[in-house]
Each structure stands twice: as structure tokens, then as C-alpha cells.
Structure 1
Amino acid sequence: MSVPGALLEKLKARYGEPQRHYHTWDHITALKRHYHGMAESWHRPEPVLWALYWHDAIYDPTRTDNEELSDVRKEYAFVPEEAFRAGRARILKGLAERADIYFTEEGRARWDAQARRNLARSLSALTG
């Protein structure tokens, strides 16, 4: 079962809201490329696809219960720079300290090393 066309159009409209700079339809398209590239790994592909589509369907950068890892400063323009940098560094440090960033063997094999380099570079930039 795929996502019905009318629902898909509503989702695209959500991802096109003006406050979005990273959590856009381009973000979903990029995730779909990964999804299709790993298609043989999914035991139940439909729930994964639906989660991919809906994970940021409602996104208000002024709330604290959105996805914690938004990495575009424009979405948090209302947060003072010092507070943004401290909060962002705390989140990234927590990720970097995890034994596993990715929860699947394939994810760890494909992306862990690069993710750790990205985290180190971002932390360095945030903390000076």
C-alpha cells in the first residue's frame, strides 16, 4: 500500500511551509533515496515509508517537542546565538558519545564513520 495521492499533496504542502529551511520536501526526497537503496533490508517496508513521510509533517521550530536534531540555524532564528550554540553542542555531544549512532548494522557500516567526522567538525565549530 502506498500513500494516497491526495494525502501526499497535503504532506508536500506541509513541507513547503515558510518556516522550513531544512525540513522540506527535498529532505523527504533525500530520505527516500536512502529508503530505496536499502529496500532489501526492510522486513516491513510500508511502516518505514510512512514514518519517513510523516516524521516532520508538523514542524514548529518554536516548540520543544519537535525533532531535536534540526541543523539549520534559520529554523531557530528566535533563539539567541549563545543559547543556540550551547544547546546544539549539547545535543551533538550526546550523539557523539553514543556507542552506536545508527541502530542497524547496515546503517553503522554505511554512515557511522562519516557521521562521527561530521559531529566532530560541527562541535569544533560550535565550541571554538
Structure 2
Amino acid sequence: MLHFVGSSEDSMRREFQLSNGGRQRLIGRWNALCSSLGLDPDQHFSVLDDLLIRYTEPQRYYHNLAHLDALLALLPAQPHLELAVWFHDAVYDPTRTDNEPQSARLAEQSLQRLGVAPALIQRVVGLILATQHHRSDDLETALFLDADLAILGAEARTYRAYARAIRLEYAWLPEALFKERRAMVIRQFLSRERIYQTAGFAGLEQPARNNLQGELAALVRPS
């Protein structure tokens, strides 16, 4: 199994962390969202606390609060999109394969307790479940999914940091098995006619393919 020394782990945590004031910015976004929905502060503060704890769990090197902050900056300030951002990775255990449905279930239960309208809850649940396969014929869902995949089209250095962060999140997997599974995921993305489904993210298509092809080449290169 690949071993990561502490200094490497600390360095990777710094690659994807909130900028100064980022945590307060996120809390402000949450409060404004809940206020717009007329939710009871005494109730929604406890949900926020739970989410903040979840997104700072030690196994998260990329799927953390900085990821939420990036998504909120990419998407329109619509309640269903914002709530989906907050909950879509709320359950994140890299050793399991049911994180998306578990996150959707948590969203449904939490939002029901807050008294959110059933139609809005179901919209949020649908957005979260769509992250299982990152494909949708619905334009708003496709926009949400494209934002979630924006990191694939990042500049090369940032993408390499992302790839290292994902390896750290899956550090429990032996190296050979990780390479096999990661290569499979990458090939699935590369086999698509288009990785990004919306016009706003179309400019990331070629950079994403370049990044994925570069990572794939490194994964299959003989040791």
C-alpha cells in the first residue's frame, strides 16, 4: 500500500483549503439561503454545524469546504442548486460505494426537519443522485454536474494537485488496485462524446481531456 508521510499530507491539505474568510463566507451564504426560505435559525444552525463537521473530516483532501466554496462561486444563487451543493458530498466515505444515495437521504431528512417545501426537497435529492453518473438531460441538473466536474478542466498544476488529493482520499487502496480503478473512471469520462454538457463549461472540454489523458498515461505507465 502506498504510504504518505505527514508532511505530504499537510501539503495536500493546503492545496485545497478555503481562502482567508472563506469559512465565514460560507456561513453567510448558508444563513442568507435559509433566511430566503423562511427557515427557523434555531433549527438551521444545527444543520449547518453538522455539515461543517462533515466537510472537515480527516479523509477529505479535496471533497471539503473549499470544494463547496468553489461550486457556489460557479453556480447561480438558486435555492435548489445551493442546497444540492451543501449536501451532495455530505456523506463521503471512500471505502463505500453508496455515498451519493446516503447524501441524498441525509439531505431529505435534514430539509424535512427544517420544514422545506417537499417539491424543493425532491429537486435537491434529484440533483444529488445525479452525481452518481454525472449525466442528465435536464439543463439545470447538467449545469450542476458540469460545475462539480470543473476541476477536470483546471490548469495542469491544479489538476495534478487534485489527482494527488484523490489518491490520498483512497490511500487505503493498494497502489495497483487504485491505478486500475482510477484508470477505469478516467476511460469512462474520455469515452464520452462530451464531458461537459452545458455551453458555459464547454471551454473546459479540451483542457479536461488533456488532463485526463495525462493522468491515464501516468497510471498505466510500467513501473
After superposition, what is the alpha-carbon deviation per residue over 1:67-90, rounded to whole angstroms, capped at 9, x for unaligned? Answer: 679951111111111010011001
Q: CA deviation at 1:65?
A: 2.4
Alignment of 1:22-61 (within 5 A): 22-35=62-75, 39=76, 45-61=78-94
Q: What corresponds to 1:9 in structure 2?
A: 49
- TM-score, length basis structure 1: 0.82
Deviation at 1:103, TM superposition (A): 2.0
Indicate the residue corresponding to 1:103 in structure 2. Answer: 197
Structure 2 residue ranges without an equivalent (≥5): 1-31, 35-43, 101-131, 133-148, 150-161
1:124 equivalent to 2:217? Answer yes
Structure with greater proportional helix content? 2
Tell me how large the CA RMSD over aligned residues is. Answer: 2.2
Percent of aligned positions with the same letter in both sequences?
A: 39
CA distance in 1, matches of 2:98, 2:89: 11
Aligned length: 120
**In 1, Cα distance between the equivalents of 2:87 and 2:197?**
20
Residues in 1 aligned to 2:89 and 2:55: alpha-carbon distance in whole angstroms: 8
Which secondary structure state, in structure 1, belongs to the residue aligned with residue 33 of structure 2? Answer: coil
Shift of 1:18: 1.3
Report the counterpart of residue 79 of structure 1 in structure 2. 173
Pairwise CA distance, 1:61 = 1.0
Per-residue Cα deviation, 1:4-28 (whole angstroms, up to 9, x for no partner): 4442232111100112111111111
Deviation at 1:50, TM superposition (A): 1.1
Q: Work out the CA distance in 2 between the residues paired with 1:26 and 1:93.
A: 27
